[in-house]
Structure formats: C-alpha cells, structure tokens
Amino acid sequence: MSTEGLVQPNGLLSRYEHIMSTPKALMGDDPATPKLSVESVTTTRDQIVVAAGGDEPFRDELSRASIILVPMPGHAGYTQLVFPHGTLEVLRLFREHTPEGITTDIAITDDAYEELALHAADIILVTVFVKDVLVPIVLGLYSSYLYDLLKDASARRETRVRAKVLVETRERTIAIDYYGPADEFTELTRRAFEQTVQPSESFAPELSPACAEVGRDESGLTQPTVRRPD
C-alpha cells in the first residue's frame, strides 16, 4: 500500500468483527495500573488478507508481508473500518527501520483507508500481526515511536496506551492486549510474549537470517539492533 492519496473506507467492518476485540478485563478505572491480556485466538493470516479486500495482486502481496497493520472495526460509535491516528507514521517507521527482507504492509486498500483522530489523552497504537521472531523489532520500534511522542518522562508515566499485538507462530495466533502507562508498554508486552511463546512453535529457524536482539538506549526504552549474517 502506498501512503499517498488515501480517501474514505468502503464498509468492510463486518469482516473484522471476529478478528479484533478488546477484552473486558482491560477496561478499568485506574489509569496507573497496567492491564494485560494474553490468549490464543483463531485469527489467521489468511483471514486478515481476505478481510482486507482488494484484487488478487494486492492480496498476494499482503499475504507475504512480514508485519501487517490491521484496522479496528469502528471505535466510539464510528461504524467504519478505521486506523488510529498516527498509523501512517508507524507504517513509514517500520518500513524505514526494519532489516532488509522484512516487509510491512497495511491490511486495507488505498481507497478504503481512513484514520480516526480521537480527542482523548489515550494513545491507540495500530494493531500489528507479526511472526513471533519479529516481535522484539516491533516492540523496539513502538518504543521509539512513543518516546518521540512523549519525550518527557512524566508524560510517559501519565499517558495511557492501548495496543494489540497478534503474534503468529507455527501452531497458533496469540493476542497480547495492553492498556496502561506508556512507559510500561514495551517491557510488560515483551515479558508476556517471552513467557507465552514456546521454542517449539517459533518461526525462529525459518527467519534466522534476520534475527534481532533488543538493547537499550539512553532513554531507557528498548531499541532494535539487527544482527545480520556474515
């Protein structure tokens, strides 16, 4: 998908209702307490590709993407498929800062794309569907994105983030939902991922030429450092 000339959605909402949902356990009153939900879900890459619509070349390209950005099935009474504000910035960030051979695409056609800007303190991150071995890269890039948005440490503590990471393994899809302070998102999601995905179900052997480690920069946030083959 290009990032130019994006217009109105075409009503694909029903196709995503079974893919995207927010667990009720995440809806709480205390903004200082992070809420995390981890569960196996029936969502598959093929379902996301079909739901995105478009012609066969578009679907073929989307099906091969390493990282897929997935829309929300409406929000706050809005009944069309939407992406949260900032999605195009995330798309550009992922495309520019992932290693060679790792591709990022967005699960909707150009003429169906729309962002929904919410006048609220919360930051909603676009949902990602990603193979398990690339989760550290995604979390590192999201950490950089949040740091750029919230450079002040107090803002990172006080601003809540809502995010969903759909982790694809060889055997299942795992949904990790987070709602809580921005400064805890990366670490808590990383821990949930590491404690849930078993080595036997990982894609790691298949994607070993683009393995990633996670380091920390002076901000204290995780940053991806890519290890390339010799």
Each residue's pLDDT tens digit, 39-90: 999 999 999 999 998 999 999 999 999 999 999 876 556 667 889 989 999 9
Q: Tell whether the model's pLDDT for residue 109 goes beyond 60.
A: yes
Each residue's pLDDT tens digit, 115-164: 887 666 789 999 999 999 999 999 999 999 999 989 888 888 889 999 99
Per the structure block, which two tokens stand in for 97? 């800062």
Q: Tell whether the model's pLDDT for residue 103 goes beyond 70.
A: yes
Each residue's pLDDT tens digit, 4-30: 333 333 333 334 444 444 444 444 456
SS3 230: coil
Q: Is the pTM of this model over 0.85?
A: no
Predicted pLDDT of residue 229: 33
**Which residue did the predictor score with more confidence, 176 or 76?**
176
Predicted pLDDT of residue 11: 35
Q: Tell whether the model's pLDDT for residue 208 goes beyond 80.
A: no
Q: Tell whether the model's pLDDT for residue 192 goes beyond 60.
A: yes
SS3 82: strand
Predicted pLDDT of residue 62: 96
Distance CA 85, CA 62 (A): 22
Predicted pLDDT of residue 117: 73
7: part of which helix (H) or strand (E)? none
Distance CA 93, CA 131 (A): 18
CB count in 10 Å sphere of residue 37: 16
72: part of which helix (H) or strand (E)? none
Amino acid in position 30 = D
- Residue with the two structure tokens 């940053």: 223
Do residues 69 and 105 touch, judged by C-beta distance below 8 A? yes
Predicted pLDDT of residue 121: 73
Predicted pLDDT of residue 76: 59
**Which residue did the predictor score with more confidence, 148 or 224?**
148
Residues 6+ apart with CB under 8 A from 230: none
Q: Tell whether the model's pLDDT for residue 104 goes beyond 60.
A: yes
| Distance (Å) of CA 159 to CA 23, 72, 109, 169 | 20, 21, 31, 31
Sign of the CA dihedral with 117 first, then 120, 123, and 129 last: negative
